[in-house]
Every structure is written in C-alpha cells, then in structure tokens.
Structure 1
C-alpha cells in the first residue's frame, strides 16, 4: 500500500511523540493517526489542509489534527521547520476513551484564538525541539515533562471539539473501513465502475460512502482517485524514462491532454516541468519531501524561540 495517503508513524517506546527538524521540499497529500504540530523556524511553507491552503511564515505554529488529510509545498523561500507528531493515545480521555478531540491551533488563520498567547505554545514546542537534540536520560525526562505540559495547555487554552463514539470498537471499525477504501482505490483505480464495485466491496451505498470519505478525509471518492493517479504519475515521472504519453496511460489519465490539464491544476507545473525539475530518486524507494539544512542554524533558531 502506498504511503501518500496513510503514513504510519513509529514512536520510541520511551517517548510517545516523534520530534524532528527539517527543510521541506514537498509532501503529497497524506494523513496519519498522530496529531502533528509544525513550527516554521525559517522562511515559509505552503500548507494545504483540505479544502484550504495557507502560507505558513517564520514564527507561525499550526496543529494538524488526527486523520486530517494535508500536504506541504516549498515556497520560493528556503525553510526550516520543527515537527512534533503526537501519539493519539496522549489525547485519550482516561474516563471516556470513546472521545476524539479536534483542536483549533493555527496562528495563520486565527479563526479561534487560544486563551493563552501563541508564544506560550511556540516556547514549549521549541524547547522540546532543543531537548530532542540531546541523548542523555535528562533530555528524555525534560522532553516528557514538556510534552505533557504541552498537551495540558492544549486542553486548557485551545478551543476544541469533541466527537463522541458510542463504543470504541466503532472508532476502530471506521479506521479499518477507511484503510480498506484507500487500499481498494490504490489497487483498482484503473478499472471502470470503481464506485459501484467499491460500494459493493465495503457494503455502503454511494451516498454513505461520500459522507464517510468527506467526514474522515475531507476528500470525495473522485478526488481520492485523482490523487492516486497523480501519485502514480509522479512516481513514474521521477523513476523512469518512459514517454509522457505512456505515463499518462499507465497512471489512468487516458490521454496527454487530460493528464497535462489535471497535473497542472493540482501541482502548479506540467508533467514535463516536473520531470525536468523534480528530484530524482532511486527506483523502488519512497519519494522523500525533505531537504538538507544547516543544523547549527536550526539550533540557533530554536533557542531564539525559547
């Protein structure tokens, strides 16, 4: 199963979050169970959270909720970003594990400002980033303390919604169904009548499938199929020397005209431009959206925000 839609995140057994600093080139649309916090330390990045897109500038902090489809794109500025991917288990209510939370922490949009200033969250996140650079047991304990303080501050100061499930098995079943849908699309996106076949496969009506996908990914089935085709096309453009016409056919676009139109609309460049300017990768390896960056500069920027 491709990873552009679902990203499996592994955590250290001693620490329920993944912390890393990087420079972003591009990430295709994806989702994961973790809650993800991004702090831009330098420059800017384009963050797409369906159906909206933001330019996140230096000093801005954004939280992407669990199971929300999102993607990143480099702007014309060099960037350095800090990411903290928080295990969803951190947000399970010990009194009621059937609740799912959606937080509103976005210093770009500022739709619902937190009750505490953004600098409070930025400071804590930057301190976690600094401690992650150390290897001692003291660094680990400080990171744990800061992480739980961050989660506490999210609950205390940030606006959030609660989704209540009658039974936790319902949540687990919905996650399984979502993965089955994505896997089916990735295996059968070239076939005709995929909507009818998929509905039969998962036992849903077309309307129920539409509502289910919009609720869990903010994508329609048509958008999911297009994204799958684009991901396949990008892989072929990057890893093979096949002609554009062949790639258009093998990725399910039928003809070059349709391929060029959709590709330009969704990525901002033509397939030819991507093939010429995209970063080549070795065959059978994942396309990474990370670039090299100055680690010393990143540490200085983290110190600035603490």
Structure 2
C-alpha cells in the first residue's frame, strides 16, 4: 500500500518522467510514505523537478545517480536531491516489503523562508551523524496532517535549520537556468539506447548539433559529460544484474551495453572504487 499525501502513486512513477511536476499542498510540501512489495517498486528514469527532495529508506536500499555521482543509500541513510538536479533511482535490496519516506519541498516556498537556497547545495548523501534529521523525517512522515498549516510551517523551519548543517562546500546557482528540452531529449535517447554502440558524432548529427556545441551544452546544463551520463546508465543496469542475477561478468557487460569485459571492469572500478566481483560479493554479504 502507498500512503501518498498530495502525491503520485507508484503506478504513475512507471512512466518515463523527464520533468516531474509535483502536486504540492497549499504550504508547498508533499509527503510520500512508500510501503509496498519489493517487486512493485519501479526504477525511475532520469528526471528533475523544481524543489528539494529528501529520501530515506526505512528498509532495503536503493541506488541513486545525481548529476553524474552515484550513491548507494542504505537503511536510515538519507539522499538529498537539490533544486533542478537530474537524478534517477533503482532499488538494490529489500526485504519482502519495502518502506521509504519521501519529503518534497517546493522551491518558491523554500526561497521565501531560506533565501540562501539560490546559492547553496545540500550534500547528496548523508550516511551518519544525522540522528535529529532522521527523527524529524520519521515524525513528519508519520504525523503529517494537511490541514495543520501552522504546524507544517513550523516543521519546515525545523527541517531547513537541520539541513543547513549539511551544506556542501560547492556553491552553485542553477535556479534560473533550467535544463533545456534538447538536453533532456539526449538523456532520454541514451536511456532507451544505452545497450547500443552510441557514437558522439552520430548523436550530434541525430539532434542536428555540431559535435563541439552538443558536448559543451550538455555539460554546462548537467555538470557531467554525455559519456559520463552514458556510463552511469550502463552502470545502473549492471549493478542491478550483479545483485539480482546469476549472469557472469561477461554477460552483464554485454547486457549493460559495455563493448567488452575490460571496459566494464575499468569503468566500474573508476566509479565504485572496486571490481564488479568484489562489489557483488561484498554487497550480498552486507545484506545478509
């Protein structure tokens, strides 16, 4: 079952979302408590939205790609997606049931009470020393009542105050620079064709751009290269197969779109700091 207050159900998340328009309440908050079977949890394709999203799994774990960086979010750890950050998720491990808390905060509301939001970036992955933040998320997701506007605003102030402790050193200002349609279109194309041999020159011709302009524009708006985005998409598929299939490393490399086992091995080690086999064995052991 899904408790979704002013939010979308899991069924809606199966669609290919490029820009996700979130139906906030009158205050600017959306709460989703996901409590469902493991097999009913969909992966989400790359998308973005205007606001800040906080995700905390209560059971199980998921993999999230945020602007080219890949994180594994385990039980009671927290993922924070900043305003306009492109991200995608996939479930890694769960018990029979999967439970997760999601808080989405509207950008305009955040800007009105926390003007610094235009110039800061919250840390994408909080793995420890977050006891107060964890308790705030748990309490609000379980006790939230839409009619209590004053209580909601009080909670938002408490939450922002606590989140301010987790600001990254990197200063950004992306709020007035939304991702253009053609960049989203390139991402969507890669989402659909990542198993194929995608050449950058052919991609530029397909979208009627010069090779150099396409590479620069994509990186300017996403902060990663097209090659990095492609590798991340392939790694998303490969990670799922490592943990949930009995395929060999060679079979996983081919199924995920890597040209050969060596390329898969080198790319995986570059992003995860370890080899596919070590990752597979370690994560499965940690989950037991």
TM-score by length of 1: 0.55
Give the SS at the match of 1:30.
Answer: strand
Structure 2 CA distance for aligned equivalents of residues 187 and 164 of structure 1: 30
Residues 91-150 of structure 1: per-residue CA shift (max 9 Å, x gap): 437897993532115233x6xxxxxx4111111111220223x45x23x43223212321
Structure 1 CA distance for aligned equivalents of residues 22 and 44 of structure 2: 19
Q: Where does residue 15 of structure 1 map in the other structure?
A: 27
- How much does 1:16 deviate? 1.2
Q: Does 1:82 align with 2:101?
A: yes
Q: Where does residue 154 of structure 1 map in the other structure?
A: 163
Structure 2 CA distance for aligned equivalents of residues 143 and 96 of structure 1: 19
1:220 to 221, 226, 232: 226
Q: CA RMSD in A?
A: 4.2
**Structure 2: which 5+ runs fail to align?**
1-13, 238-250, 259-288
- How much does 1:15 deviate? 2.9
TM-score by length of 2: 0.58
- In the alignment of these two chains, the number of paired residues is 218
Q: Where does residue 71 of structure 1 map in the other structure?
A: 89
**Structure with greater contact order relative to length (CA < 8 Å, sep ≥ 6):** 1
Structure 2 CA distance for aligned equivalents of residues 42 and 186 of structure 1: 28
Structure 2 CA distance for aligned equivalents of residues 219 and 18 of structure 1: 32
- How much does 1:184 deviate? 7.6
Q: Where does residue 207 of structure 1 map in the other structure?
A: 212
| Structure 2 counterparts to residues 1-306 of structure 1, below 5 A | 3-4=15-16, 6-22=18-34, 23=36, 25-33=41-49, 34-49=51-66, 50-54=68-72, 56-66=73-83, 67-78=85-96, 79-92=98-111, 99-108=118-127, 117-132=129-144, 134=145, 137-138=147-148, 140-155=149-164, 157-160=165-168, 161-164=170-173, 168=176, 171-172=177-178, 174-176=179-181, 178-179=183-184, 181-182=186-187, 193-200=202-209, 205-215=210-220, 216=222, 218=224, 220=226, 223=229, 262-264=254-256
The 1:26–1:262 alpha-carbon spacing in structure 2 relative to 1, beyond 3 Å, is farther
- How much does 1:3 deviate? 4.9
The 1:87–1:224 alpha-carbon spacing in structure 2 relative to 1, beyond 3 Å, is farther
Give the 4+ runs in structure 1 shifted more than 6 A: 93-98, 183-192
**Structure 1: which 5+ runs fail to align?**
111-116, 232-258, 267-306
- How much does 1:186 deviate? 8.4
